């Protein structure tokens, strides 16, 4: 069996959730067998999605009562995500194209990768 994404034979294959579980993807009609290289590349998007989601949660729920150290952590996380954003968007475009080639549509194109703004300081 070849890798679903790159069609290579003779490589180790593992289960790949097309739409990441952390983005609400289930097991049904969502699993393909993929090689380590394709997995690693797709995992970068998944990791980014998870981090952006965590940041969104922290900004929405835990700000601004979490203290100064937490504020600094959120600021750093946001800066890191913004730095990675263009690279991740390039990856997303690549995999979106590949999913569209295979299926005629892309299950992951709708992932929300936006980095939330830091909230305004309370008066
Ligand atoms: Zn592959």
72 CA distance to ligand 1 centroid (A)?
A: 39
Instruction: Tell me the CA–centroid distance for residue 41 and ligand 1, in Å.
Output: 9
Report the separation in Å between the CA atom of 13 and the middle of ligand 1, taken as the mean of its atom positions. Answer: 8
pLDDT for 74:
83
- pLDDT band of residue 87 (cuts 50, 70, 90) is very high
Is the pLDDT reported for residue 86 higher than 70? yes
Question: pTM for this structure?
Answer: 0.85
Q: Which residues pair with 31 in a beta bridge?
A: 17
Task: List pLDDT tens digits, range 29-81.
Answer: 899 999 999 999 999 999 999 999 988 887 776 665 655 667 788 889 999 99
Tell me the CA–centroid distance for residue 119 and ligand 1, in Å: 41
The DSSP secondary structure of 19-52, one letter per residue, reads S-GGGT--STT-EEEEEHHHHHHHHHHHHHHHHH
Domain spans of the chain, in order of start: 13-103
Task: Say how far apart CA 121 and CA 123 lie, in whole Å.
Answer: 6
Residue 40 Cα to ligand 1 middle (Å): 10
């Amino acid at each position: 069996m070849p890798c679903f994404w790159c069609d290579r034979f003779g490589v180790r294959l593992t289960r790949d959730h097309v739409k990441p579980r952390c983005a609400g993807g289930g097991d049904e009609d969502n699993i393909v067998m993929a090689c380590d290289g394709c997995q690693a590349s797709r995992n970068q998007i998944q990791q980014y999605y998870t981090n952006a989601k965590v940041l969104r949660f922290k900004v929405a729920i835990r700000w601004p009562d979490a203290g100064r150290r937490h504020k600094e952590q959120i600021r750093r996380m946001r800066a890191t995500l913004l730095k990675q954003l263009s690279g991740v968007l390039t990856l997303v475009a690549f995999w979106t194209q590949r999913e569209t080639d295979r299926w005629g549509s892309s299950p992951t194109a709708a992932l929300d990768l936006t980095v939330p703004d830091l909230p305004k300081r309370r008066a």
